[in-house]
Amino acid sequence: MAWVSDPHDGRVHDTQALRRCGLLDVPPADLPEGAPPLQHIGDKGYIGLGMITPKRRPANLPLYPDDKAYSTTVNQVRYKIERVIANIKTWRVLHTGYRRPPETFRTTITAILGIIFTYTL
């Protein structure tokens, strides 16, 4: 599932924007019986927020082989998401002001993301 928050004014760190938007507080949608709960995935900057993240290497110690394999698996999923984000950032239209009515922003960007995720993944 892809999700887009409203834009934030000024410079806002990703973790702060995530806390502000309330996505981590939303209960999971009704899932079929026996289905695992939905979880969010992020990079090492999101460690401590209850998300799936790669393992951090302990200071002055190597990463355990199991932790390294786990991080590789997480990063294989994240790679696809990062490619989508990089693709979207190259669009010239995103470097200018939004020219449609402001109340259409959420619907427009969600539709675009759906198309890009389908095309990229």
H-run or E-run covering 112: helix 105-120
Q: Return the pLDDT at 74.
A: 92
The DSSP secondary-structure symbol of 28 reads P
- Going residue by residue through the chain, which has 121 residues, state the pLDDT in tens, using 9 for 90 and above: 556 667 777 788 888 888 888 777 766 665 567 666 667 888 888 888 888 899 999 899 999 999 999 999 999 988 888 887 787 777 766 667 778 888 888 888 888 777 877 776 6
- What lies within 8 Å, CB to CB, of 68 at 6+ separation is 55
Token code pair at residue 116? 């890009």
DSSP state of 100: S
State the pTM of this model: 0.62
